[in-house]
Amino acid sequence: MKYVSTNGLAPPVSFREAVMKGQAPDGGLYMPESVPQLPPSFFRDLPDLSWAEIAFQVARSYTEEDLPDDILWQIITEALNFNIPLKQVRDNLFVLELFHGPTLAFKDVGARFMSRCIAYFSGEEGEKLTILVATSGDTGSAVAHGFLGVKGIDVVILYPRGKVSEIQEKQFTTLGDNITALAVEGTFDDCQRLVKTAFADEELHRSMNLSSANSINIGRLLPQSFYYYYAQAQLCDPLARPVISVPSGNFGNLTSGLMAAFTGLPMEYFVAATNINKVFPEYLRTGVFTPRPTIPTISNAMDVGNPSNLARIRYLFGDDVKEMRKKMKSFSFTDEDTRAAIHEVYTTTGYVLDPHSAIGYLGLVKALDNDEKPGVFLATAHPAKFKDVVAEETGKLPEIPERLAACMGKEIKSIPIGKGYEELKAFLLEKGE
């Protein structure tokens, strides 16, 4: 399997190279040249397969030439060592809980798989590697935890100062060791721009080995597709064609779902649910993509005004918006809607949603519009990560899991930095010496 750039100007590469480079040299994002077709027997047998077996079979079709079976199996069983249960919320509505990893958010899935692939590939080359990543909240902690203590790898995390929750900040700024956090005086889009500029900087590349670890790395996208199959397995009906709602920001999660659908996974269509950063629903409606400045919301991990993975979605559909509309609906919701959903779902069912998952729920309910098809929405963060909003709407503080409580008492060790590129470059060059 070869990987190609969405810009079409860089040569095709192996899975290994796509993961190690992060971004293609022409500024595009790597995608598999074609999405593999999985055999009907795989889909028929899904309900009988374990989470790890499903992940292994899917991963193999993408990585066979670069990861020997025993290594792939080890990476999967280490990285995906937590469950992803499907629960019934009511009637035909199900929630897929993606937040049982160490940082309580779905990005653990991608970050843990990718970090182990990178550790394996760079271990073979014996070179020191710097991972540069921009985060709007959850990527940072997932990547930091994924690489913590991994030899030969330094992680530098850029985040918008004052724009991530206290809990999120504590999760990636208190670790020390090979993890450095830079608090950027700006927005998440500024952080992303800085990272993109660094990757395009040839002088920097000559002085150090840089790789990305945010959602643009194909090594993160791929494992995120595994749980779409696992949701189907847990519905226990190989013929069920669920509607699947994905709370989206940078659109990596949705891209992974689309890839799963293109391999043959039975499903009806996706709902791309956003907060008021609604460039995608606008794009799907008008066919014109207009990036916008980020607007802060209570679902802040989805505050993205210029989603990178749109390039991949366009690639998958040959840039045909009409085709996209057959496979996706998209809606946006305000903070008020989000709060009302947390309140309503809790009072009517007892189920506690975090603000991101609430947007997934809202998107599903709106798309189904009383249709009785099975519907699955993805819960991307544990409610305890957004405990204040959740408590205001449910009247009760969510239970704080042990691993979250532990880091709350630690001291923040981030370095403040401006949003100009030269300052970041000087920092990286000094660090690389």
Q: Does position 338 bind ligand PLP by CB under 6 A?
A: no
Active site residues: 107
Site track for ligand PLP across 206-245, x = CB under 6 A: ---------x------------------------------
Return the residue of 100, 107, 112, 419 that touches ligand PLP, per CB under 6 A. Answer: 107
**Binding-site member from 66, 138, 169, 190 for ligand PLP (CB under 6 A):** 138
Among 333, 83, 366, residue whose Cα is nearest residue 243: 366
The position carrying tokens 């182990």 is 116
Contact status: 169 vs ligand PLP (CB under 6 A): no
Residues 343-362: x where in contact with ligand PLP by CB under 6 A, - otherwise, as a string? -------------x------
- Binding residues with ligand PLP: total (CB under 6 A): 17
Helix%, strand%, coil% for the chain, nearest 5: 50, 15, 35
Which two three-digit tokens encode residue 70? Answer: 């025993």
Q: Which residue has the tokens 């981030």?
A: 414
Measured from the CB of residue 251, what is the shortest distance to ligand PLP in angstroms?
5
What is d(CA 133, CA 194) in angstroms, rounded to the nearest whole number?
A: 10
CA-wise closest residue to 254 among 334, 352, 359, 335: 359
Query: Per rule CB under 6 A, is residue 250 in the interface with ligand PLP?
Result: yes
Q: Kindly tell me which of 139 and 211 has the beta carbon lying closer to ligand PLP.
A: 139
Q: Is 42 or 227 the residue whose CB approaches ligand PLP more closely?
A: 227
Distance CA 302, CA 297 (A): 8
Count of C-beta atoms within a 10 Å radius of residue 126: 7
Closest CA to 413 of 204, 182, 178: 182
Binding mask 293-312 for ligand PLP (x = CB under 6 A): --------xx----------
The answer to the question of residue 111 lying near ligand PLP (CB under 6 A) is no
Contact flag: residue 381 with ligand PLP (CB under 6 A): yes
| Cβ at position 185, least distance to ligand PLP in Å | 22
Strands 3-5 and 93-97: unpaired
Q: Which of 217, 248, 275, 330 binds ligand PLP (CB under 6 A)?
A: 248
In angstroms, the CA 310 to CA 230 distance is 25
Cα separation, 157 vs 176, whole angstroms: 12
User: Which residue among 46, 95, 105, 376 contacts ligand PLP (CB under 6 A)?
Assistant: 105
Residue of the chain from 146, 186, 223, 247 that contacts ligand PLP (CB under 6 A): 247
Q: Which of residues 16 and 145 has its CB atom nearest to ligand PLP in the complex?
A: 145
Q: Does 253 bind ligand PLP (CB under 6 A)?
A: yes
Burial (CB count <10 Å: 0-12, 13-18, 19+), residue 131: buried
Residue of 30, 159, 226, 251 interacting with ligand PLP (CB under 6 A)? 251
Which residues, 6 or more positions from 213, have their beta carbon under 8 angstroms from its beta carbon? 22, 111, 114, 115, 118, 131, 132, 133, 139, 143, 146, 147, 155, 220
- Tokens for 250? 């940078």
252 near ligand PLP, judged by CB under 6 A = yes
Binding residues for ligand PLP, per CB under 6 A? 105, 107, 137-138, 215, 247-253, 301-302, 356, 380-381
